[in-house]
Structure 1
């Protein structure tokens, strides 16, 4: 709380006059304020004498004495507005960072399944593929297809097991490049942590497996197959299915007898 402000009483001034000058609605509040803050023996009478040092409240306390809310300082308002704007901007940036952090590089990518086609960047023939074998589990299957197990970070078996990716550019010899001798790292990288099978991260199209010889194995085809499942058939209109597939017999037609709710008879008079 700010210190009282001394006011020297002028000739003929009363407490009512001084209170009005200071903007205090009730002059008795001014008297109470002085007497509360003055030293012993310095109390003010109702009509102070000329030159009396009257202790008056600072502006913010005058509002309080009047039971009013202080008027905001334009400069302080500007500073407050700028601070609020800065806080809002920081909040938006924080939310944007959180949103970006929540996004994954796996968004929009297909999961990899059993028999996915893989390639090695150090193969002499870059189009040489090998089929990934899912051996880590038999729990999650895709596409309603038997054996389409979801691949995990522990699946490192390929067919063919010998010369898996053909000839290796990192193994030159006088007779040409030697066959690939895959020495896969213990786990795949760039795996999808948000979906796991038995505690193991799953693979998507961007997952990679390093070969200890120096090659990098990536996904060429994820292995999922578009197919018609039993669920699709159950939700298909038989007549529509027969119209697009001649091999399917159309459902038998049923004769429908019209149902009459009422009969209206109109009699016309003839002359």
Structure 2
């Protein structure tokens, strides 16, 4: 698992037989959040997240379902996940954590036809990150800002008239 990101709600996935991407929805649990200090949006995805677990429910026209006028629309349904991390289980739902290289199986597209484009995790720097930043390195990157003193309790304070 070294250096692999865990999947969270909002992870972007794509089917190799579709033309669009879709975002993963976590429906099996509401307890475990990753890289989300407020615990609001980045639920951890597990291998138990199967069924209709995508926001739009489609990856566009499905090349596995041709018609006389093109292709039938995809109905993204996951029947199983592979490539999950078996050393980390979340209970409930009793599911193993999904990783950025996990793949999903669709009943029409077949085994491992759905892959992950982006894990859904986005860094959220905190005040602690600014306090522990390397001052010399930051001075080279941004000479105007002093990282040790960077703290605004009210970012619009300068707009107030006294």
Coarse TM-score class (shorter-chain normalised)? 0.7 to 0.9
Q: For structure 2, list consecutive stretches of 5 or more residues without a partner in the other structure.
A: 153-162
For normalisation by structure 2, the TM-score amounts to 0.72
Structure-2 residue corresponding to 1:112 = 7
- Which of residues 27, 39, 59 in structure 2 aligns to 1:135? 27
8 Å Cα contact 2:127/2:151 also seen in 1: no
Measured on the aligned residues, the alpha-carbon RMSD in Å equals 2.7
Instruction: Report the CA distance shift for 1:173/1:249 in structure 2 as closer, same or farther (over 3 A).
Output: closer
For normalisation by structure 1, the TM-score amounts to 0.45
Greater RCO, 1 or 2 (C-alpha within 8 Å, sep 6+)? 2
CA positional deviation for 1:137: 1.4
Structure-2 residue corresponding to 1:223 = 120
Alignment of 1:1-271 (within 5 A): 106-123=1-18, 125=19, 128-145=20-37, 146-156=40-50, 157-161=53-57, 164-185=58-79, 187-198=80-91, 199-215=94-110, 216-233=113-130, 235=132, 243-244=144-145
CA positional deviation for 1:138: 2.1
8 Å Cα contact 1:171/1:177 also seen in 2: yes
Query: Runs of at least 4 residues of structure 1 off by over 3 A?
Result: 233-237, 240-243
CA positional deviation for 1:159: 1.1
User: C-alpha separation between the residues in 1 aligned to 2:3 and 2:90?
Assistant: 20
User: C-alpha separation between the residues in 2 aligned to 1:190 and 1:249?
Assistant: 42
Q: For structure 1, list consecutive stretches of 5 or more residues without a partner in the other structure.
A: 1-105, 251-271
* Counterpart secondary structure, 2:104: strand
**Relative to total residues, which structure has the larger helix share, 1 or 2?**
1
CA positional deviation for 1:249: 7.8
User: C-alpha separation between the residues in 2 aligned to 1:118 and 1:229?
Assistant: 28
8 Å Cα contact 2:89/2:95 also seen in 1: yes
**Relative to total residues, which structure has the larger strand share, 1 or 2?**
2
User: C-alpha separation between the residues in 1 aligned to 2:74 and 2:56?
Assistant: 11
